[in-house]
Amino acid sequence: MGREFVEIFDKWVDSYDASVSGQDPEYRDVFEKYDEILSAVTKKSFGTVVEFGTGTGNLTAKLVEAGHSVIGIEPNEAMRTVTAKRFPDLVLVDGDLLVFEKPQKVDTFVSSYVFHHLKDHDKEKALSTYANLLPVGGKIVFADTIFTSEVAKQAQISKERARGFNNVADDLEREYYTTIPILTQAFEKAGFDVHFEQMNDFVWLMDATKK
């Protein structure tokens, strides 16, 4: 999403929904208020919505229920299969945050727990791409783990190690979790006004509007 971590989801596809529902103690804090987070993304979206990383279709379900026209983009074949079974009429295609078939019309780009798969310079590239596709007033609404600072990130990693949650700590060190100052600069550079709202100890809602 980038594609670097796609194979991880081959192993996670059968247990992902258990993880997000809090059944895995190690990831419980990461997915705290999961349903509320997805609802917040949905409420801030409008019109034709492109969703990156549909996964098993949990955010997709809320978007469809809200009456949005949804185009799903998912790089993992196993995850696409799950979502396609849930929503046989959904437009669902292979693609990622950077490489995807450009829609004829889009009002909102959304994702949940996805944007950290891109390095910071690729995040900038992605935001520039979205800006070129969105009309003035179009939106990006992403929910993901981000931190107020690098110091805060390192403190969270230390906390996870101390309580034996090494899988979470490994994730935080391996993937490209960034900070609010870096993202603010990237969104503004791409021509967006952006607001951040903390949803749990890990996840923030990014609500950006094209100027």
pLDDT greater than 90 at residue 59: yes
Question: What average pLDDT does this structure show over 109-116?
Answer: 97
Q: What is the pLDDT of residues 114-145, one digit of tens each?
A: 999 999 999 999 999 999 999 999 999 999 99
Give the H/E segment covering residue 28: none
Measured CA to CA, the distance from residue 10 to residue 81 in angstroms comes to 11
Q: Are 189 and 129 in contact (CB under 8 A)?
A: no
96-118 burial by CB neighbour count: b if 16+ within 10 A, else e? bbbebeebeebbbbbbbbbbbbb
CATH class of 8-210: alpha beta
From the list 143, 131, 171, the residue with the least C-alpha distance to 59 is 143
Q: Are 75 and 96 in contact (CB under 8 A)?
A: yes
Q: What is the pLDDT of residues 14-44, one digit of tens each?
A: 556 667 777 889 999 999 999 999 999 999 9
Q: Per the confidence metrics, is the pTM higher than 0.85?
A: yes
Mean of the per-residue pLDDT values for the chain? 92
What is the pLDDT, as a whole number, of residue 2? 52
Beta bridge partners of 192: 210
Q: Among all chains, which residue has been given the structure tokens 């981000």? A: 146
Helix 180-189 crosses helix 120-133 at what angle (to 10 degrees)?
Answer: 40
**Which tops the pLDDT comparison, 78 or 43?**
43
